[in-house]
Chain A
Amino acid sequence: MVDRSKVRVVIAKPGLDGHDRGAKVVARALKEAGYEVIYTGIRQTPEQIVETVIQEDAAVLGISILSGAHMVLIPKILKLLEEKGLKLGEDVAVFAGGIIPPDDAEELKKMGVFEVFGPGTPLKTVIEAVDGAVKNLKGFRA
């Protein structure tokens, strides 16, 4: 199994959305599971988030968004990541969570988001999904 303490995870909150409970809960859960987690805080621009992923050399980016602006902000982040030469699912695994309707979730997954989680998702499910994504990344494949 992957040594979680060598996997760096950025949890980010893009846009003007101030709902930060979910992001903090997920960040803490991943820490408790043994990951190294960097939390960006709220009100982040896509540029700030992508720069954070780069400077922190994160393998996982988790985006938490409850404001409804996910179809604008998430694609923008994905595009910036690729522009910076970070391949989705190869160099970095992207997750999203919050209030995201199923149709949008499907669309986002098609764009390269690994998994989308809504309210009430057990934290165990989140951790397992991150484990699953990490072991297929370039730097962590057996």
Chain B
Amino acid sequence: MSDEVKGLIDVALKGDKKAIARLITLVENDEETAREVVRRIYPLTGKAYVVGITGPPGSGKSTLLDKLVKLAREEGHKVGVIAVDPTSPFTGGALLGDRLRMQRHSTDPGVFIRSMATRGSLGGLAKATNDAIKVLDASGYDLIFVETVGVGQIEVDIVKTADTVVFVTVPGLGDEVQAIKAGLMEVADIFAINKADREGVEMVYLELKMTLEFERDKWKELGWEPPIVETIAFTLRGVRPLWEAIKRHREHMESSGRLRERRAFRAREEVKTIIASSIARKVEERLASGEAGELIDEVVEGRLDPYSASQIVMEKLKEDLWR
């Protein structure tokens, strides 16, 4: 590792925001550096509790987050926020607008907010989100909120990241509940019906309640029934009950042993993802070689079938993998 990165880590661990921000950029931009950084800070991670906020576009995730950060600060947490917005698939650019709802916390020394673009990831988060969480965790932020991109359905990536998942929905989306039914229990620990100042709250409430009923056996077994909280993010109405629900869920996760289970699942997924992406890279490298080019030619000309060609490439891959 370069001395520069080492120095940066030392300063970041002391809480310097400029260094923390720089480290997040490095883990975002460069896989090699990410590897080194995570290796070094990993022993200091695992202390932070991670709360995920997901839900359809414009449902009020960022506005709620702004209020939740306030309540968490009142209870003395050091709060990190990672807010993810989509990268345009056409231009590679992104307009990251979550932060603007939370700007009043910008100058609070106990809060660190970072906007992040998906940069091609599809699961509602960015590839570097988990590593950015680790940087904040190691730097002493003990409660980390992650806002996913606005998604029409619950995206599974957030479960691979958060200890508690809050799904924010709103009245008037029509078939919204229908859309989130699949995998409902697996993913959301708490439901917030935001914009409860609007018409149609009871409808959403009843639909959610009914959907949860279907999974009754499951939540009985788990010992946690996802609560449904009505909120008006503007006015703080219902936000305190939401915060209390998050805390109750945390207690449940910790005392039931499910936190450990979820983190084991997450660790496994993380390892799997890293392996898969390094293999994918090796495959690309192999296929870019002249030798592979000739094989491909043979496939095109009909002299070799694709299965046999891949067999030959995979033999070579073995060497690459163990190198």
* B85-118 near A? 1/0 per residue, CB < 8 Å: 0011001111111011101101100001111010
A85 lies within 8 A of B115 (CB): no
* B3-46 near A? 1/0 per residue, CB < 8 Å: 00000000000000110111011000100000000000000000
With contact pairs A5-B87, A31-B91 given, residues A36 and B21 touching in the complex (Cβ less than 8 Å): no
Q: Say yes or no for A28: interface residue by CB 8 A criterion.
A: yes
Q: How far is the CB of B8 from chain A (nearest CB, A)?
A: 11
Interface size classification for chain B: 20 to 34
- Which residues, 54 to 77 on A, are CB-close (under 8 Å) to B? 54-57
Complex Cα distance, B119 from A38, in Å, reads 15
Partner of A51, one of B25, B29, B100, B106: B106
With contact pairs A55-B17, A55-B106 given, residues A38 and B115 touching in the complex (Cβ less than 8 Å): yes
Q: How far is the CB of B277 from chain A (nearest CB, A)?
A: 19
Complex Cα distance, B107 from A32, in Å, reads 30
Q: How far is the CB of B4 from chain A (nearest CB, A)?
A: 11
Partner of B95, one of A5, A6, A27, A84: A27
Partner of A39, one of B20, B92, B100, B119: B100
B17 lies within 8 A of A31 (CB): no
Partner of A56, one of B21, B92, B93, B119: B21
- Which residues, 20 to 38 on A, are CB-close (under 8 Å) to B? 27-28, 30-38
Partner of A32, one of B87, B93, B100, B119: B93
Chain B residues, Cβ within 8 Å of A4: 92-93
B97 lies within 8 A of A5 (CB): no
Q: How far is the CB of B240 from chain A (nearest CB, A)?
A: 25
B107 lies within 8 A of A47 (CB): yes
Chain A residues, Cβ within 8 Å of B22: 57
Q: How far is the CB of B293 from chain A (nearest CB, A)?
A: 27
With contact pairs A27-B95, A34-B93 given, residues A54 and B88 touching in the complex (Cβ less than 8 Å): no
A52 lies within 8 A of B99 (CB): yes
Chain A residue at minimal CB-CB distance from B18 = A54
Main secondary structure of the interface of B (DSSP, over half): mixed
Q: Say yes or no for A44: interface residue by CB 8 A criterion.
A: yes
Chain A residues, Cβ within 8 Å of B96: 36-39
Chain B residues, Cβ within 8 Å of A39: 95-97, 99-100
Partner of B93, one of A35, A40, A41, A45: A35
A34 lies within 8 A of B113 (CB): no
Interface size classification for chain A: 20 to 34
* Centre residue among B20, B93, B101, B115 by max chain A CB count within 10 A: B93
Q: How far is the CB of A41 from chain B (nearest CB, A)?
A: 4
A56 lies within 8 A of B115 (CB): yes
B93 lies within 8 A of A54 (CB): no
A40 lies within 8 A of B95 (CB): no
Complex Cα distance, B117 from A31, in Å, reads 11
Partner of B21, one of A5, A40, A54: A54
B103 lies within 8 A of A52 (CB): yes
With contact pairs A47-B107, A56-B21, A57-B21 given, residues A34 and B92 touching in the complex (Cβ less than 8 Å): yes
Q: How far is the CB of B2 from chain A (nearest CB, A)?
A: 14
Chain A residues, Cβ within 8 Å of B24: 57
B17 lies within 8 A of A5 (CB): no
Q: How far is the CB of B101 from chain A (nearest CB, A)?
A: 8
B residues engaging A (CB < 8 A)? 17-18, 20-22, 24-25, 29, 87-88, 91-97, 99-101, 103-104, 106-107, 112-115, 117, 119
A residues engaging B (CB < 8 A)? 4-6, 8, 27-28, 30-41, 44-45, 47-48, 51-52, 54-57, 84-86
Q: Which 7 residue pairs spanning A and B have beta carbons closest together?
A: A41-B100, A5-B92, A57-B21, A31-B93, A34-B93, A31-B95, A51-B106
A–B Cβ pairs within 8 angstroms, 22 of them: A5-B117, A5-B119, A8-B25, A31-B91, A31-B95, A34-B91, A36-B93, A37-B94, A37-B95, A40-B99, A40-B103, A41-B101, A44-B103, A52-B99, A54-B17, A54-B18, A55-B17, A55-B112, A56-B115, A57-B25, A84-B18, A85-B18
